[in-house]
Amino acid sequence: MTESKAMIVGLAGAEMTPAELAFIADQRPWGYILFARNIVDADQLKRLTQSIRDASGRDDVPILIDQEGGRVQRLKPPLAPLYPPASILAQIYRTDRKAGLRATWLMSRLHAFDLQRYGINVDCLPVLDIPVAGSHSIIGDRAYGADADVVIAMASAAVDGLMAGGVLPVAKHVPGHGRARSDSHLELPVVDTALDELEATDFKPFAALSGVAMAMTAHVVYSAIDAANPATTSKTLISDIIRRHIGFDGLLMSDDVSMKALSGTFESRTAAIFAAGCDVALHCNGDMDEMLAIAGETPVLAGDSLRRANAVSACRRPADNANEAAARDEFDALLSSGAMA
């Protein structure tokens, strides 16, 4: 850990290439993230995650995936069932609060069953963003709703379900992507909402869940705080809002460095991410030229960032003794009852 570079990287395909193995040996990324392109079948995925652990020399190396349910679900049948988006869980919650929270916990616990069997130990969930009328659909049904208190309750249940299964959560996208009127994968969104309104709404879920081990930034400009830079590269926003107002002292990772919301070379983007105060840079697409450019501007984990990275490993706990079949039956029953309500 003391020599890991402050980066999480993707891989190009279903097996690690000689170039990737050389990159890992030379650059020592702290973590890895998987996508559909990395997944063929169960045996192949188990081999891939084991090869990541072998190459990194760390049994507890963070291996991340986006497994929310709905539109954002990298593991699909037959490796994992199709799960509903957060908005369906919210429908159950509106009818029966207790049932909605139980369904949310169960779905996360089932994600943990699915991920653990393939050697994946981090899920980029929950989504704490709060959409508003007119916002882009990139968040949409991935959100638990438009009420901060509902989001807090349901996201807390999701975190608890993952943790119970030995999988770590990542809160996203701090300090809130819900008001964005464009997709940050394609362009830079600008939110002009007043600071007091942001504090009363968008920031609340992140403050309530500030104890999670990891959070992912939003590539969004909040003009009331920093009109020139998105949260990911804003020293003011990270220091004053994420660290101080929200109170998050966990590992702060950027959203994907290759997204078009960010501008400049990959070297300049990476330098700006670390200058702003992110602990770790995330790069997803597995492009080796981009990875090398990013690695050149990525520091070795040290100081508070190293402390936070160490805390990530320390907070992981063994999975509980939940019965998977019983959990699936209960979850399916809750979904059925919610659909009929």
Pairing between strand 251-256 and 214-217?
Answer: parallel
Question: Which of 26, 41, 60, 185 is labelled catalytic?
Answer: 185
Give the torsion sign (CA, 101, 107, 110, 116): negative
Nearest of 83, 96, 79, 84 to residue 40 by alpha carbon? 79
| C-alpha distances out from residue 83 to 9, 25, 69, 117, 200, Å | 26, 37, 5, 17, 31
Q: Is 177 labeled as catalytic in the residue annotation?
A: no
Q: Is 111 labeled as catalytic in the residue annotation?
A: no
| C-alpha distances out from residue 87 to 7, 72, 150, Å | 32, 13, 12
- Do 115 and 123 contact (CB within 8 A), yes or no? yes
Give the torsion sign (CA, 186, 289, 287, 10): negative
**CA 195/CA 190 separation, integer angstroms:** 14
**CA 13/CA 319 separation, integer angstroms:** 29
Nearest of 205, 204, 207, 202 to residue 191 by alpha carbon? 202
Question: Which of 114, 226, 255, 256 is labelled catalytic?
Answer: 255
Widest CA span in the chain: 56
Which residue type occupies 95?
Answer: T
Residues 91, 323, 74, 29, Cα dihedral to 10°: 120
Residue with tokens 């063929």: 40
| C-alpha distances out from residue 201 to 87, 155, 175, Å | 18, 15, 10
Active site residues: 185, 255
